[in-house]
Every structure is written in C-alpha cells, then in structure tokens.
Amino acid sequence: MQEQNALVMDEQAREEEQLLRDLQEGSAEAVNTMIQSHGDAVFRFVWGKIRDRHRAEDLTQECMMKAVRAIRKEGSKPRQRVRAWLFVIARHVVLDYLRYKQRRNGGELSLEGVSESQGQDERGNVGGWIEGREEGPSEAMEQDEARDKVKLALAALPEDQRDVIELRMWDGLSFGEIANVLDIPEATAKSRMRYGLSKLHDLLAGSCEKEVLL
C-alpha cells in the first residue's frame, strides 16, 4: 500500500511539474487544466471567507490570474504542491479585499470573523462540494441526509477549526501545507484538527441522539 501511494504521489508530482512547464511556456490549455483541477477548491476557500458568491467568483479568477502571471512573467515556481500554493495566494487575495472593504466601509474585518457575520442562511452551502457516486433512490436519500448533517455540524464549528478540517479532509493538504496556507504553526494546525474533529463528533452524536428521542 505504501509503495502504491508513493507511485501515485510521484505521478502527481510529474504531472504538476509538466503543468508548471506548460504554464511557463504560455499554454492556454495548461491554464484551463489548472482551473479545472483547482478552481472549485479555491472558490470554496474564498467563498468560505466572504460568503458572497459573485465576489468569490471574481476573487477566485483574480487568484488564478495572479498565479499564471507569477509563473509566466516572474518565473517563480511554487515550492509546494500547486493547490496549496493557490490557497496561499487566495488567502492574500481575500485579505486584500477585506482591507479594501474595511477602508471603504469602516469597522474591523478579519479572516477569523468575516464568515461568521454573514448570517446563517448561506451556511447550508458549506461543504456542498462533496461529490457522491451513483446511488439508488433510498441510498441517495440516506447519503443526502448524512451530508446535510455533516454540513450543519461543520458550519457550527469555529472557523479556525473548520478551515483546518476542510483543507485536510477535502483538499488533501498536509499539516505543513495547511500551516503555510493559514499562516500558523504546524502544531497549531494539528491541535485545531484534533479539537475540531472532537467537537464534530460530539455534534454528530448529539444529532443522532435527538433523532432517537424523536
């Protein structure tokens, strides 16, 4: 199993290296490949911070263009995996947007608090990117119910814990990459993961207990 995983990682590394070379050479197809491979993940990250779909789409596009310019014009190449690098760019793009919004409207905004202030209605979309396989009607209904429970539980977590869980579980980032994306120590990323999973377990268990009582 370890050898198989190593082979998969080597193949992914070769594909990313080829992608970066193609981007440096100005390939439009490479840009499309990067967007198709990572665009949804970057959008989720950005949307989770600002809770504005149209603005998140604009900022995601800005993030992608910044990455392309960095590779083509500046000749810089990421020292980590492409997706982790894009998340770092996205974090700075979001911070720049929030600073602009703060200057325009006054008040204080931060990555830690902005998504909590946007209201509960949009939270139902958190985690909506979970991809499911083909299922029968009854199984699909059960899967949908399970996803809804997980989404609600994730939305109830503190944002700092939710960020780590989503980056780790859905985007497959290592703790080192997560620490770099969120600009925190790796030990902090691990502790947030531990506390977040514990709280998530309690929330899901509480949901099941309520169903039994009903």
Tell me the DSSP string of 46-91.
HHHHH--HHHHHHHHHHHHHHHHHHHHTS----SS-HHHHHHHHHH
- CATH code that applies to domain 1-108: 1.10.1740.10
Q: Where are the domains of the chain?
A: 1-108, 138-214
How many whole angstroms separate alpha carbon 186 and alpha carbon 182?
10
User: What is the distance between the alpha carbons of residues 197 and 104, in angstroms, rounded to a whole number?
Assistant: 37
Report the top-level CATH class of 138-214: mainly alpha
Please write down the HEC assignment for all residues of 3-41. Answer: HHHHHHHHHHHHHHHHHHHHHHCCCHHHHHHHHHHHHHH
How many angstroms separate the CA atoms of 37 and 79, rounded? 18
Domains 1-108 and 138-214 share a fold: no
Q: How does pLDDT run across 73-94, given as a tens digit for each residue?
A: 877 678 788 999 999 999 999 9
Per-residue pLDDT of the chain (214 residues; tens, 9 = 90+): 556 556 556 788 888 889 999 999 999 999 999 999 999 999 999 998 998 999 999 999 999 999 999 998 877 678 788 999 999 999 999 999 999 988 888 655 555 544 444 433 333 333 333 333 344 444 444 556 667 788 888 889 999 999 999 999 889 899 999 999 999 999 999 999 999 999 999 988 876 544 533 3
